[in-house]
Structure formats: structure tokens, C-alpha cells
Chains A and B, each alone.
Chain A
Amino acid sequence: MTKNINPFYNIIISPRIIIFFIFILFLCSIKAHNVYAHKVYIFAWAEGDTIYTESYSGDKRVSNGVIKVFTASGDFLLEGKTDTDGNFSFKIPQQTDLKIVLEAGMGHRAEYLFRSDDIREPVKEEATPETQDGLDTIKKHSTGVSTEELRKVMEEVLDDRLNPISKRLARIEDKKNNSLTDIIGGIGYILGIMGIVIYFRNRATPKQ
């Protein structure tokens, strides 16, 4: 008895069943647009001399997660735990690239590479003492505030304003492209592999 070479013979009576399965898959993928729901990730940004980190598992914060900080080459620097809001901050240990690692339990781990050029040293003007004194007194009398105090205030205000922007930037850098695309792409790859295997198998069997 010749084997029926229709590759779909063994799994369907009618195309309805295949359509049923693909429909179920599609329903699941539409609901599952938030691909990050299963991933843990950590963001970090600098304010002044402190690095702040936030740890997430999907949309939730990771509390009591272990944070380890390494140099870019892997030397261990320091360790800590996130609080209940998923935050952990530490003073910048050295002015190099840092690798910040989050271990959230149950086998989940995430890394963030913190670049040292994200930290900018406050610009120090070169000025001779006498002119600086003179300038300071003039400024003090006119505005009531010295250069140093002004600089401090500006840094604080800028940190305040830039904080949410740094956070969003860190998120964007980590996010890959649209996840529905990836889901459909993955299903496509599987069907493609299936097609290739069937093609080569049909070539191998002699046609009757």
C-alpha cells in the first residue's frame, strides 16, 4: 500500500483543525504582548557620586534581590540587596565601566553595563586665587550667591530633572524591538524548519 505523501494527512481530517490550533496560538500571542513579563532586568544611572539601581521582574519590583557589582573585567567590587521597592544604591567605587548583576532567585539573572562616561566630573575652572576672590566678592554683592553655591544648586536641580529621563533612557537602551513581531517570527521559523525537513524528505523518497 503506497504511503500517502500528503504531509498533513496524519494530523488533520480537514483544514478546520489546523485553523483551530493556529487560532489558539494567535489568541495566546495577542495576550502575551508583554514579553518582559517573564524577564528580570535591572537599570542603573548616576546622580552625583551615587549609582542608583532599580530591579524588575516583568512589571513588578524585585525585593531582596542580590546585587553584585564587578569591574568590566570581572573583578568583584561590592554586593548588596534590593529593598522592598527593588532599589539599591551605592557610592561609585571607581571611575571605570561597571558590570551590575541582579540575581532574583529561581534561576533568574540580569546584567547592566554601566559606562563610566555616564558619570561626568563637575567642571573645575582654572582661575588664579586673586581674580577668583575678586570675582566672588563682586558676585556675592550683586546676586548674594557665590559661584560654588550656584554650581551646587544647578547640579541638584539638573539631577532632579534628569533622573526620570535617565531612567527612561536606560529602559530604551535595554528594550529590543516590538515583541509581537518576534512571536510571529518565531512561529514562522518553526514552520520554515518544518518545510525544509519535509522538502528534503520528499526529495529522498522516489516519486511513484
Chain B
Amino acid sequence: MSGEEEEGVERTARRLLHAYPWRVRTELGDEIVATVLDTLPPGAERLPWRDRIDLVRGGIRTRWGRRLPLGAHLRYFFGARIDDCWRQWVLDDLEAPGLRRRLALRSVLSSVAFLAFVGLGGDGSWPLAGVVVVVAAAVGVWRAPAQRIVIARRQGLLGPAAEVGDEWVLAPERAALPNLPVARLAVAVGVPGALAGLAAVVAAASPVPIPALDQPYHSAEPVGLGLLAATAIPPLVLGVGGGALLAVNAGLAARRLAAAPAERPVGHRGATTVAAVVTALVVAVVLGYVAVMVLARLLPWEAGTVGAAVAPASVGLLVAADRLRVAGRRRGMPIGLWDLVPRFAPRRRVMAIHAGTAALLPGAEPVPDAPGHPRG
């Protein structure tokens, strides 16, 4: 068999190797291909169909043999800790390429299940359902790197130094972020509310109904105080939170502006000038208006009433979201609400890493002097 033909067979075999799980492909791929070449019938110019089918079947069998049982799979999907005997499976899931795709798919599946449970997706509400699914997929893709750490922590692959034992290796100090979920929730709830509020305020205040869609928000009569109060409680809650975020971020901005030039973050693309802040707000208002107009088509909202109560929170939340994003980029990791207020920021603490998961935290090294280290 000529070298070219052998290369062709090898290429075909490597393509078919994708039937095998990633871990097996990485560790045994070369060996399997070598065995395939060894077992070729004499005079064969291409990989026979029988061998191709055999390879694919072997790969499927291997995947089946290594599969997580349904119960464990569901628990893993919903973020519950599964048995330690499946630790290798978890590691493979987190280390194999394509994590973004897998997490996006899981996001989409959970959102579809949620929509089906809630009853959205029929009777013309499918545009909203479609938006939810697309946003879920985008969030899955976007948050994959951070989610990897979260999953590793949930499955017991990362832990506090107190649990160090024979198989644990200490990592360099990393900040712990216990309040991150709360901060994220605040931003996730606050930002859409802020956008809608700002846009609705503009729409309600404009003397001319802007001809975007066929729902005018220009109210001809004054809205009653009782109705306003009844519909404004959730927005008022948002408003209080937004106000707090605004205060915190004002302090952060003041601190940054007061810092010496050498202390300013490198590569920071934030809004430290008034002009930049105003530009960002104008853009946000326009986008928010469009978003409200689109959402009004999908939901029966009384945007004018809600928007007027949300308006005070809108400014604070928008600025806060931008600050969180910028400050997170500077630190190289997303930061939580309490991190913005130094008094409440959690102290750094040492984390222990299972020896097999060092790949999950690049730059992790054993710290020989730290207490509890197996050799220390």
C-alpha cells in the first residue's frame, strides 16, 4: 500500500474515531489508528466498509459503557453533586473541547422544559418563547468558562483548604465570591427593568407618539394614585436596589478618578468622563425604547405606569451594570456586588484542588509552605 493510500486510510480512521469519547480519542487514538492500519486486508487501497462500521460500533459501545446513569445525569444537569465514582466523567465533561456547545445545549433544554411547564410557546406567544430560548443559548455560550469553575466546585473538585487530604494539592490564593449569585440576580433583574423604564419614560414624556409600532404609550388621562401604587411595588423594589447600586458605584467611580494615574487599570475601557456616561445612557435609552416596543408586542404590559416608577432605578442600574462589567474585566473574573464595597468584600482564602483538576484553574501550583499540604 502506498504512503498516500495509507495516509488516506489514517484520515478516514481518525474521522471515524469521533464515535469514541474525547478522553479515549486523546489517550488511545494513535493506538487505535495503528491497529486499524495493521489489520488492513492485504491489497486494500481504502478502509473497507466492514472496518468502518466496526470502528463506529466500537465507539458507540465505548460511549455507552462510560455513560452516566440517568439518575446521575439528571442530578448533574440540575447542579446537584453526584457520586465520586463518576469524578472522571465530570472531569472529561469539563475538560473536553466544546464545553460552550454542551452548556448552550443544556441551557436550551432547560429553557424549553421551563417554557413547556409554564405553558408558553402556544397561542402566539412563541416569539417570546423563541427569545427566551435564544437568550438561554447565548448565556450558555457566554458563561461557559465561569460555569466550568462553578460546576467543578459543585461536584467537589474544588474546595476550601480545610478539606485538604492526601489527594489534594493547594492552589495559590484566589478570591472567594460568595455573593456572586446575589449580585448576578440583581443585575439580571435590574437591567431589563432599567431599560424598559428608561424607554417608557421617554415614550411617555415625548409630545409626539413615536411611530414605531401600533401601541401608543402617550397617556391622555392622569393615572390614578391607587393604580400607580398597586402596579409600582415590584418596580419600587427594583428602585431601592438600583439606588443602592448607584451609590456604591458612585463611590467606586470617585475612588478610581481619585487614584493616581499609575494605579488606573490598564486596558480599561470604562466611562470615567461625563461625556462617555451621557453617551452610554442615550444609547441605552434608545435601545431600551426599541426593546419596550418589541416586548409590548409579546406581553400585555402597561409600560407607561411601570416605567414611571422604575425610572429612578434605571439610571443607577445601568451605570452599575457597566461598572460591574468593567471592574470584572479588570480583575480578570466576574465580581459580585459586595466586592464593590471594600468593607464587605470577602477576604481571600486558599482553595484546594483535586490533583486531577489543575487544568481547570490555569496557573494553579502546589504551595508547599501552606498548612495542611501533604508535604508541608
Do A and B truly interact?
no
Name A's B-contacting residues (CB within 8 A).
none
Name B's A-contacting residues (CB within 8 A).
none
